[in-house]
Amino acid sequence: KHFTASKALCWVALDRGRTLAEGRGDTERAERWGKVAEEIHAEICEKGIDKRGVFVQHYETEALDASLLLLPLMAFLPPDDERVRKTVLAIADELTEDGLVLRYKVEHTDDGLEGKEGTFTICSFWLVTALARIGEGERARKLCEKLLSFASPLQLYAEEIEAASGRHLGNFPQAFTHLSLINAVMSVIEAEKSAEGG
């Protein structure tokens, strides 16, 4: 399967590699990597989107996936691109439990695992950042405040949160969840400053 977020991460590697090669004066490598990056980008924009204009988990589905929240975070497209906005809002509205983000809907994605999952904390912080970037600052702030209320007594986060109870599930603490927390808070602050004209 051609997973959209995985393809986009290949684009990131080539796009950033092109920038590094240009900085080192390696024009041949920069051009080669840039060409492949552009091909991947065009393919994703053609095949990784559904009829609603929403990016999807992989090319042969209409299922959503939380990893698509990375698209505006890694500058795959500008945050004001309508496809980005529609994708972020679709995830916020359709791939959440009580506002917290699921990785994907298990009834649409056969991952080989049985049972119910909690919501993924890192994905919920990605949603905060994505909402802030697409101009949904108030919605981003409210979700961020909700997530902050789920911190453990040591202000740490687990891999997952059970939306109904706030109980932490999975790996605890999970380091990259805390990196996404920092990015989310910074995005909310930047969105508020921008809204105030500063």
pLDDT in tens, 9-52: 999 999 999 999 999 999 999 999 999 999 999 999 999 999 99
pTM over 0.85: yes
Cis before 79 (ω within 30): no
Tens digit of pLDDT for each residue in 100-133?
Answer: 999 877 666 655 456 677 788 899 999 999 999 9
- Alpha carbon 157 to its chain's center: 18
Q: Cα 51–53–58 angle (5° rounding)?
A: 75
